[in-house]
Amino acid sequence: MDDETKEILKKILLGIIISIIIFVPMVLFFKNRFTNVETEVLKKVNKKETFFVLVYNNNTNIKELEEYFSSNRIEYSKLNNSTDYNYDTILRKIDVSKNDIKEPALLLIEEGKLYSHLNNIKVNEELSLFIDNYTE
């Protein structure tokens, strides 16, 4: 090999090494930053608490439901099935499949497991009865 080829190979090798040095830490940083996030809902499930969860997706309008919960002083946690990284983990822990949930849904989690749920909820008498049955 001549000197010019050796110089080109050295530059390519140096470029690869620099890319690896920069790329690997960035991948590890983003992996740790975004994949190990434990959401409020997952923390409550792990602590085996009793609470309401409003499950929705990006296409669901939950403003009316949020206003209803707020005006009636009902504490709840929100779970977005489109963006929440822990969504599948939470469903597994509470023994529910994705097919069982039709957004928007209100889940009652009791001692870390699904106790009852209401699918395709709207602010109406059915929602009021559901909440009244499970609140003190």
CATH (domain of 128): 3.40.30.10
Q: What is the pLDDT of residues 24-68, one digit of tens each?
A: 888 887 776 666 667 888 889 889 999 999 999 988 888 999 999
Residue carrying the six token digits 């997706």: 57
The more confidently predicted of residues 83 and 9 is 9
Residue carrying the six token digits 């009636």: 72
Measured distance CA(105)–CA(116) in Å, rounded: 11
Residue carrying the six token digits 């707020």: 70
With 0-12 / 13-18 / 19 or more C-beta atoms within 10 angstroms meaning exposed / middle / buried, residue 37 is exposed
19 and 51 fall within a common domain: no
32 and 65 fall within a common domain: no
Q: Which of 74, 79, 80 is nearest to 133 (CA)?
A: 74
9 and 70 fall within a common domain: no
Percent with pLDDT over 90 in the chain: 26
Domain that holds residue 23: 1-36
Q: Which amino acid is at 13?
A: L
Mean pLDDT along residues 97-121 = 90
Total number of domains in the chain? 2
6 and 24 fall within a common domain: yes
pTM: 0.70
Q: Which amino acid is at 31?
A: K
